[in-house]
Structure 1
Amino acid sequence: MTSPRQTPQVPPPAPPSDPPRTLARLPGYAADTYGPMEALADGEVRWTFARLAAEIAAAGRAAVAHGILPGDRVAVWAPNSRQWITAALGAVGVGAVLVPVNTRYKPAEAADVIRRSGARVLFTERGFLGTDYARDLHASGEDLGSLASTVLLRGGSGPESFEAYLAAGEAVPEAERATRAARVRPEDLCDILYTSGTTGRSKGVTTTHGQTVRLYASWSRLVTLRPGDRYLLVNPFFHTFGYKAGVLACLLRGVTMLPEALYDTDRILARMAAERVTCLMGPPTVFHGLIRHPERATHDLSALRLAGTGAASVPTSLVEEIRGELGAPDVFTAYGLTESGGVVSVCPTDADAWTVAHTVGLPLPDTEVRITDPLGRVLAAGEPGEVQVRGYHVTPGYLDDPASTADAVLPDGWLRTGDVGVLDGRGYLSITDRLKDMYVVGGFNAYPAEIENVLLTHPAIVDAAVVGAPDERLGEVGVAYLVTTAPVTATDLTAWTRERLANFKVPRRFTLLEELPRNAGGKLLKTELRRAARGEST
């Protein structure tokens, strides 16, 4: 197997101006446009765009053979892999609706998403880091709703294996798959991504094919992805940033995908050098780890040209270090939320370090951003208020939740983000705070109400409040304030919550109080707790 440096490179063509309007046509578009170029490198497996399209088509025929119908929901609960890509895009390509599930979820959390989405088929695996997702889910006794079958992408054998799933598809004519793909319309749903609200109950955010393709064609141009780039996909595919700003953007722009199932700095450094990685995107913790790694200087990272970060506080010094220490001249930050398809604004890659660190850039083309006060009045530049967004990529709504949809999306199409921000005189947006209590741990959203609800099931805890506090490595971490009826240690609470919550949701500090601060009306004064968590005087 030759290395990427030794492989003759086909001259990269410029992407056509008009991408397809559905994900069903995207793999074929990429094959027609970038066919012989390398599309994916996953261990010893190296596929061209033509081969990747053929593999996705085979997974599409398998979906038809499996009885997956247009509009059926298919869940994927598995780490990044080529099998994730082909299974997901194969099913979506014949009209199914994708429901990605966070790999850090415990069985009860995953079952909740599977049940409420109405997923009929689950793609998962066994054996990843000693975890058997399929076994643990079915052994949990949780209600799985409409789930009728499970396909094991890796680690399976027999009729549930991905190999058996693909083999069944060999009996389906390609013409039948192509007909199904042609019937997928831009206004059809392509995915449902679950994101928790401040009440702790997750919401299924719906998005259409047309919205998705248009948005990421725009995003990938703005961040300067170009044919021939080599993109290390460390962001998990269950997240918009990994799936859409990763896999889909690569198909749109002729970029080689290098999927990583688990972020490990030692492995990442070695792979970046061996594969001549040109693009890396992730939360600040990813770049902190690379810059401060003791063996970084022994790895050739000179191919790196583009770095994207965000989802947490970004110091100016980090932007300067990415450019100076890692040698990536193009650095950008961005802002978005699941309800906006994942993107609202992008800071230009050639902006000065202060602008990249302190703003999230300009709104996307055909996207409006305004700042409003609590009464909904539009504020002038420089005045902080709630960030509201309007554009083609705003969600059609939350699945089976018209009340929450009406609260989030105003009648004239403006999306209430719940974030506090300010627009400067140039039109650049800065995010300064959150109206909601959500905080971000290493790029993952954590919702206090959900964590508090779990803490309150502990037999010794009678009151609980969780807030986010700054953390140099992870951006933010959770701090829990508790009222208890019996002695309990931080070690015990950490172990107890780890059994019930994904690791990023587990508070890093626990503080016992005689009572939580509340006002005369009984409302919890979280501002005081946030100040305490930051070490500030109240």
Structure 2
Amino acid sequence: MEQTIPAALGAAADRFGDHPAYVQDGESVSFLELLRRVRRAARGYVAAGLRPGDRVCLWAPNSIDWVVAGLATSYAGGVLVPVNSRYTAHEVADVVDRTAARLVVLADGFLGRTQLADLRATGEHPSVAAMVDLAELAGLDTGAVTTAEVDAIAESVSPDDVADILFTSGTTGRSKGAMSAHRQTVGVARTWAELGGVTGQDRYLVVNPFFHSFGYKVGIVTGLVTGATLYPLATFDLEATMDLVERERITVLPGAPTIYQSLLGAPGRERRDLSSLRLAVTGAAVVPVVLIERMRQPAPAGLGIDQVVTAFGMTEAVVATMARAGDPAELVATTCGRAVPGMETRIDAAPGEAGELLLRGDFVMLGYLDDPAATSAAVDADGWLHTGDVGTLDAAGNLRITDRLKDMYISGGFNVYPAEVEQALARLEGVADVAVVGVPDERMGEVGAAYVVRAAGPAGEALTAEDVTAYCKERLANFKVPRRVAFLDALPRNLSGKVLKTDLRDQPRSE
């Protein structure tokens, strides 16, 4: 069984041939054509200076070209570093420099921005041999590099080689790059697919971003190992989503709970035929029992999805637990299911009590990039990953997440780490002190609330909530920007000086 991404791609072309691998905006690409495009892009990468083990940063929204660019990285022996498409150039520059990226592939003009010029304006990046606009990928100069040469490189890739580095922030606010081997990235995709019963007959709408493990590993790679046809969405649009489900008879639609809540509340949904949907996998936030019930309930009251399950994962261990077909709605809504094959779960507490969730198994990361101290702090000598989440396990092994040791909150399905936002705001003139917490929001699940202490003097006196949000929008991805701002005379702290964020969450908020 294939254990590398290039091998999975080659096997998919052999097995599924002319079957559609991707459909987007009227374009259909077969598995054979996908392999052809990947080979050509890989030749261009090698001609541009990419060598086995070099890193490629990919900064773009979901598209067929993203898939080609990402798979070509692996085919040329490189390490894929997906970057959030909403990141600012400053955030991307940090990832580029820390990974010593050899190539940067980006979607210039996405959302009306000037990504290429903005990234170049951040300064010199000595490791970078070329910055490539995704729109020009097919025309990349291949020089004298032949298909046979890149095929040989692809065949030399080992299951234990690093396949990808996905960045996730920590409580210190400094992002950490979680490294996974090819065997892990392919293995977790195959496991997820088997539990969901995904096959080559499925039509899989990918709303989850490809830069996230949910879109990349259990999206793109799952498509390779199953033969399912993927339909990428660059941005979530409710009408476009319903159009696609109805017209293309979409069968698989994973996503954050907000996706399904939006569909259930969509005007005119009762006139739509969404009956083709058979599998939904959700998580990343508290899931109301009534949502699961309505997702399963036949139309027009519900969505009529036969199999609705929840799962738990993180960048450091992509899928650790998952509910199974036939689990009752309450169990699906209130737990994250049981450990998937190849993974173990443990609660660091007395039996029956809540404690930190520990994970061990095939899909736990290799470690953090260039950070052995953080790696050893996260993964102990026995191989247990300390997640920072507090939970319980019932007699059947079903996981319930009850709290977070970390301050991280989830907004619209994306992790937000307050320390990163706080560090940005600490540089704003007029700010003397600041703390950020996640607060409930009906649409996004949670949003950021910033509590600011103004500095003495004119700059502090003039500081407004609009100034705070505008400053964040210039420096942070949109999902990290606090939606609510309140000004306090002082932040509540304990005797050791630590901010009492529980007290802040109970504070009245002004926007």
Q: Identify the residue that residue 462 of structure 1 maps to in structure 2.
A: 432
Q: Identify the residue that residue 91 of structure 2 maps to in structure 1.
A: 109
- Could you report, residue by residue, the CA deviation over 1:27-62 in whole angstroms, capped at 9, with x for unpaired residues? 111112222322111122112222222222222222
- Could you report, residue by residue, the CA deviation over 1:321-343 in whole angstroms, capped at 9, with x for unpaired residues? 11121111111111011111x11
1:253 to 211, 220, 226: 226
Q: Identify the residue that residue 195 of structure 1 maps to in structure 2.
A: 168
Q: Identify the residue that residue 24 of structure 1 maps to in structure 2.
A: 6
Verify: 1:402 aligned to 2:396, yes or no. Answer: no
Do the aligned residues in 1 keep the contact of 2:48 with 2:130 (CA within 8 Å)?
A: no
Verify: 1:262 aligned to 2:235, yes or no. Answer: yes
1:24 aligned counterpart, secondary structure: helix
Q: What is the rounded CA distance, in whole Å, between the counterparts of 2:508 and 2:483 in structure 1?
A: 11
Verify: 1:392 aligned to 2:362, yes or no. Answer: yes
1:415 to 385, 408, 415: 385
Verify: 1:353 aligned to 2:329, yes or no. Answer: yes
1:25 aligned counterpart, secondary structure: helix
Verify: 1:483 aligned to 2:450, yes or no. Answer: no
Q: Identify the residue that residue 13 of structure 1 maps to in structure 2.
A: none
CA apart distance, 1:302: 1.3
Do the aligned residues in 1 keep the contact of 2:40 with 2:142 (CA within 8 Å)?
A: no
2:316 aligned counterpart, secondary structure: helix
Q: What is the rounded CA distance, in whole Å, between the counterparts of 1:369 and 1:146 in structure 2?
A: 40
Letter in 2 for 1:423: L
2:313 to 323, 329, 336: 336
CA apart distance, 1:490: 2.1
Do the aligned residues in 2 keep the contact of 1:115 with 1:143 (CA within 8 Å)?
A: no
Does the C-alpha gap of structure 1 residues 290 and 199 become closer, same or farther in structure 2, counting only changes over 3 Å?
Answer: same
Q: Identify the residue that residue 133 of structure 2 maps to in structure 1.
A: 152
Q: What is the rounded CA distance, in whole Å, between the counterparts of 1:192 and 1:321 in structure 2?
A: 37
CA apart distance, 1:534: 9.6
Do the aligned residues in 2 keep the contact of 1:235 with 1:282 (CA within 8 Å)?
A: yes
- Could you report, residue by residue, the CA deviation over 1:73-109 in whole angstroms, capped at 9, with x for unpaired residues? 0010011111111111012112100011111111111
Q: What is the rounded CA distance, in whole Å, between the counterparts of 1:145 and 1:300 in structure 2?
A: 53
CA apart distance, 1:431: 0.8
- Could you report, residue by residue, the CA deviation over 1:12-40 in whole angstroms, capped at 9, with x for unpaired residues? xxxxxx3x010111111111222232211
Equivalent residue pairs, number: 501
1:76 to 58, 70, 75: 58
2:205 aligned counterpart, secondary structure: strand
Do the aligned residues in 2 keep the contact of 1:216 with 1:245 (CA within 8 Å)?
A: yes
Letter in 1 for 2:276: A
Q: What is the rounded CA distance, in whole Å, between the counterparts of 2:242 and 2:252 in structure 1?
A: 13
Q: Identify the residue that residue 5 of structure 1 maps to in structure 2.
A: none
CA apart distance, 1:492: 2.8
Q: What is the rounded CA distance, in whole Å, between the counterparts of 1:483 and 1:127 in structure 2?
A: 37
Q: What is the rounded CA distance, in whole Å, between the counterparts of 2:231 and 2:392 in structure 1?
A: 36
Letter in 2 for 1:320: E
Q: Identify the residue that residue 206 of structure 1 maps to in structure 2.
A: 179
Q: What is the rounded CA distance, in whole Å, between the counterparts of 2:169 and 2:431 in structure 1?
A: 23
CA apart distance, 1:445: 0.6
Q: Identify the residue that residue 203 of structure 2 maps to in structure 1.
A: 230
Q: Identify the residue that residue 216 of structure 1 maps to in structure 2.
A: 189
Q: Identify the residue that residue 150 of structure 2 maps to in structure 1.
A: 177
1:270 aligned counterpart, secondary structure: helix
Q: Which runs of 4+ in 1 moved over 6 A?
A: none
Verify: 1:445 aligned to 2:415, yes or no. Answer: yes
Letter in 2 for 1:462: A
Do the aligned residues in 2 keep the contact of 1:231 with 1:257 (CA within 8 Å)?
A: yes
1:524 aligned counterpart, secondary structure: coil
Verify: 1:525 aligned to 2:500, yes or no. Answer: yes
Does the C-alpha gap of structure 1 residues 145 and 518 become closer, same or farther in structure 2, counting only changes over 3 Å?
Answer: farther
Do the aligned residues in 2 keep the contact of 1:479 with 1:533 (CA within 8 Å)?
A: no
Q: Identify the residue that residue 105 of structure 2 maps to in structure 1.
A: 123
Q: Which deviates more from structure 2 when the two are superposed, residues 129-138 or residues 68-77?
A: 129-138
Q: Which deviates more from structure 2 when the two are superposed, residues 34-43 or residues 66-75?
A: 34-43
TM-score by length of 1: 0.91
CA apart distance, 1:145: 4.3
CA apart distance, 1:498: 1.3
Letter in 2 for 1:85: V
Do the aligned residues in 2 keep the contact of 1:77 with 1:102 (CA within 8 Å)?
A: yes
CA apart distance, 1:223: 1.8
CA apart distance, 1:143: 4.6
Do the aligned residues in 1 keep the contact of 2:160 with 2:183 (CA within 8 Å)?
A: yes
1:168 to 119, 142, 145: 142
2:267 aligned counterpart, secondary structure: coil
2:347 to 371, 376, 392: 371
1:393 aligned counterpart, secondary structure: coil
Verify: 1:99 aligned to 2:76, yes or no. Answer: no
CA apart distance, 1:408: 0.4
- Could you report, residue by residue, the CA deviation over 1:236-281 in whole angstroms, capped at 9, with x for unpaired residues? 1110001111010011111001011111111111121111111111
CA apart distance, 1:460: 1.3
Q: Identify the residue that residue 515 of structure 1 maps to in structure 2.
A: 490
CA apart distance, 1:314: 0.6
2:437 aligned counterpart, secondary structure: strand
2:472 to 497, 509, 514: 497
Does the C-alpha gap of structure 1 residues 284 and 177 become closer, same or farther in structure 2, counting only changes over 3 Å?
Answer: same
Does the C-alpha gap of structure 1 residues 529 and 393 become closer, same or farther in structure 2, counting only changes over 3 Å?
Answer: same
Does the C-alpha gap of structure 1 residues 168 and 400 become closer, same or farther in structure 2, counting only changes over 3 Å?
Answer: same
1:281 aligned counterpart, secondary structure: coil
Do the aligned residues in 1 keep the contact of 2:486 with 2:509 (CA within 8 Å)?
A: no
Q: What is the rounded CA distance, in whole Å, between the counterparts of 1:242 and 1:258 in structure 2?
A: 11
Letter in 1 for 2:111: L
CA apart distance, 1:529: 1.5
Q: Which deviates more from structure 2 when the two are superposed, residues 487-496 or residues 315-324?
A: 487-496
- Could you report, residue by residue, the CA deviation over 1:364-400 in whole angstroms, capped at 9, with x for unpaired residues? 1121110014xxxxx31x3100000110211111111
Do the aligned residues in 1 keep the contact of 2:188 with 2:217 (CA within 8 Å)?
A: no
Q: What is the rounded CA distance, in whole Å, between the counterparts of 1:322 and 1:36 in structure 2?
A: 34
Q: What is the rounded CA distance, in whole Å, between the counterparts of 1:531 and 1:360 in structure 2?
A: 28
TM-score by length of 2: 0.95
Q: Which deviates more from structure 2 when the two are superposed, residues 348-357 or residues 524-533?
A: 524-533
Letter in 2 for 1:168: T
Do the aligned residues in 1 keep the contact of 2:440 with 2:447 (CA within 8 Å)?
A: yes
- Could you report, residue by residue, the CA deviation over 1:213-253 in whole angstroms, capped at 9, with x for unpaired residues? 11211111012212210011111111000111101001111
Q: What is the rounded CA distance, in whole Å, between the counterparts of 1:55 and 1:162 in structure 2?
A: 10
Does the C-alpha gap of structure 1 residues 145 and 401 become closer, same or farther in structure 2, counting only changes over 3 Å?
Answer: farther
2:68 to 86, 90, 107: 86
- Could you report, residue by residue, the CA deviation over 1:480-538 in whole angstroms, capped at 9, with x for unpaired residues? 11111333332332222212211111111111111111112212111212333799xxx
1:100 aligned counterpart, secondary structure: strand
Q: What is the rounded CA distance, in whole Å, between the counterparts of 1:67 and 1:114 in structure 2?
A: 16
